[in-house]
Amino acid sequence: MLGRLILPLLALAAAPALAGELGHEHHAHGAHQHGVAQLEVAVDGPTLTIRLESPLDNLLGFEHAPRTEKQKQAAQGLLAALRRGDGLFTPTATAGCKLNEAKVEAPVLEGRADAGDHADLDADWRYTCAQPARLTGMKVGLFAKYPGLKRLDAAVVSGKGQAAFRLTRKQPFLSW
Ligand SMILES: [Zn+2]
């Protein structure tokens, strides 16, 4: 009698653990939903920091290590464009913000990771603003450049507190 009770209990206990493990393997960086990416914006005095975490598919149309020459060029082009930062973000013009550091990591593209089913790209940009008091928002240019990106869940932390935004192609503006 006891044996019959224990077996179903063990099966119940094991099932969520197994599901959790599989889930972790396929979503190594947390939420990974094609078309959606996360943006974190921090405003601290003259420093504007932006962090993007996106499925590679949104930006490139594939998420495996590049195989063909065309894929290799697309991957290198993406990394270079994100590192240059041109037109990706447009902070309030009168604040005089200049991009002074960009860091982009996509291990799958750089041959540093085994490709799983999914792969992310993480990027950080740091701007310094000459007139930080005038900095009240920015336009996000990622939608125009990367049609695979449909939605950005953005969080802003500034001197005024925290705010969350859901940005889309039709509404690519953040304000704080
Ligand atoms: Zn994916």
Confidence label for 30 from pLDDT (cuts 50, 70 and 90): low
* 3-state SS assignment for residue 20: helix
Which positions ≥6 away from 46 have C-beta within 8 Å?
128, 129, 130, 132
d(CA 147, CA 76) in angstroms, rounded, equals: 18
pLDDT at 96: 98
27 CA → ligand 1 middle, Å? 8
158 CA → ligand 1 middle, Å? 31
64 CA → ligand 1 middle, Å? 9
Confidence label for 44 from pLDDT (cuts 50, 70 and 90): very high
144 CA → ligand 1 middle, Å? 21
Confidence label for 16 from pLDDT (cuts 50, 70 and 90): very low
34 CA → ligand 1 middle, Å? 6
Confidence label for 20 from pLDDT (cuts 50, 70 and 90): very low
pLDDT at 21: 37
Per-residue model confidence as pLDDT tens digits over 106-150? 999 988 777 677 899 999 999 999 999 999 999 999 999 999 999
Confidence label for 8 from pLDDT (cuts 50, 70 and 90): very low
119 CA → ligand 1 middle, Å? 6
User: Domain-by-domain residue ranges, the chain?
Assistant: 1-30, 31-175
Per-residue model confidence as pLDDT tens digits over 45-92? 999 999 999 999 999 999 999 999 999 999 999 999 999 999 999 999
Torsion of CA 12, 17, 20, 25, to 10 degrees: -130
